[in-house]
């Protein structure tokens, strides 16, 4: 994994705890970092991600806000312009749409409008993703709304190590960063994290599994499903599948995308966002444009169906990608 590893391994941490640790450490490191959002102070956040911050840093740096995403993002932009480093929380990523104007028309354009003489070092934390029976207003993956906006950076960690390291890098970055954290991963994955300060660089993908026959390009909530599927087809079909975790969606690590495509000659893009208009289409275009001569089959995509996420668990499972669907897609592409 990428990062400056130092010291001995610390206690095992969940994805959620890794984010909490990053916030604690960055607020202790830099007094300009503060947290703002709905219920982030007294309650410690709807998912307890900000638990303990109020006690450690006080009410001037851990601020409960009204239920108004446009207010939260707008206040964050103003604070960032004045030299602060706000970390603002959308209680659910679905409601980031209420702050859309402030993000894409104000934060993303600020440096450009001022000829590079001003910056907007703000992080927007957005708990995203389905598979938690949250239905249509608490299950969305809205990353593709932002991956076409110059001036933004967009990250989607899939491991506890990356959840911590990418958030620390995002807080230190001078650009506005949308930080999508998958709700299903909060307590379902754990990892030993190193002691001491470490970061994960924005814009760098990571090969999670090396392979020869086919590449899966994925991120966020579908990484672990893809790894499970790769292990299944290796055991049952003898297929060697490489898995590339994008980690950052804007900017994309084009070199890593093209390198894995050229190594295996077959590419399957997997994400939990809906198929139409998802970032998988852009990745497929990059591979087709710049690695066509290396391909032994069409670039395939597997994503959620083009519908809203249902509440009923069987219907939700039907709509979303999962390990079994990825296994089937691997076999179909490998047989091409």
Partners of 62 in beta bridges: 35
Cis bond leading into 162, ω under 30°? no
Could you tell me the end-to-end alpha-carbon distance of the chain, in angstroms, rounded to an integer? 33
Residue 71: burial class (beta carbons within 10 Å; 0-12, 13-18, 19+): middle
Residue 336: burial class (beta carbons within 10 Å; 0-12, 13-18, 19+): exposed
The Cα–Cα gap between 92 and 99 comes to 12
Torsion of CA 143, 185, 328, 259, to 10 degrees: 60
The Cα–Cα gap between 4 and 2 comes to 7
The reply to whether 24 belongs to the active site is no
Closest by CA to 200, choosing from 162, 159, 251, 173, is 162
Question: Of the residues 24, 138, 271, 308, which is catalytic?
Answer: 138
DSSP state of 98: G
> Hey, what are 126's tokens?
């957005």
Which residues form the catalytic set? 138
């Amino acid at each position: 994994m990428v990062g400056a590893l130092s010291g001995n391994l610390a206690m095992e941490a969940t994805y959620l705890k890794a984010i909490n640790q990053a916030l604690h450490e960055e607020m202790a490191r830099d007094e300009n970092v503060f947290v703002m959002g709905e219920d982030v102070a007294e309650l410690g956040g709807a998912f307890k991600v900000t638990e303990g911050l109020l006690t450690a840093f006080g009410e001037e740096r851990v601020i409960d806000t009204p239920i108004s995403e446009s207010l939260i993002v707008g206040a964050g932009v103003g604070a960032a312009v004045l030299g602060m480093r706000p970390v603002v929380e959308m209680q659910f990523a679905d409601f980031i749409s209420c702050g859309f104007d402030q993000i894409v028309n104000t934060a993303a354009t600020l440096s450009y409008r001022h000829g590079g003489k001003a910056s907007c070092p703000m992080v927007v934390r957005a708990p995203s993703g389905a598979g938690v029976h949250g239905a249509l207003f608490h299950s969305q993956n809205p990353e593709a709304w932002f991956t076409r906006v110059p001036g933004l950076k967009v990250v989607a960690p899939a491991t506890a190590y990356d959840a911590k390291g990418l958030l620390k890098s995002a807080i230190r970055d001078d650009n506005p960063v949308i930080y999508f954290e998958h709700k299903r991963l909060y307590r379902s994955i754990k990892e030993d994290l190193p002691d001491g300060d470490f970061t994960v660089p924005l814009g760098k993908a990571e090969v999670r599994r090396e392979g020869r026959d086919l590449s899966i390009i994925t991120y966020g909530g579908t990484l672990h499903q893809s790894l499970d599927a790769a292990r299944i087809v290796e055991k049952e079909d003898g297929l060697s599948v490489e898995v590339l975790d994008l980690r950052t969606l804007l900017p994309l690590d084009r070199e890593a995308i093209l390198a894995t495509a050229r190594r295996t000659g077959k590419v399957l893009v997997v994400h939990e966002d809906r198929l139409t208009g998802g970032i998988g289409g852009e990745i497929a275009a990059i591979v087709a444009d710049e690695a066509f001569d290396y391909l032994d089959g069409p670039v395939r995509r597997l994503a959620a169906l083009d519908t809203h996420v249902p509440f009923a668990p069987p219907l939700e499972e039907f709509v979303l990608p999962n390990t079994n669907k990825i296994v089937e897609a691997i076999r179909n592409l490998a047989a091409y």
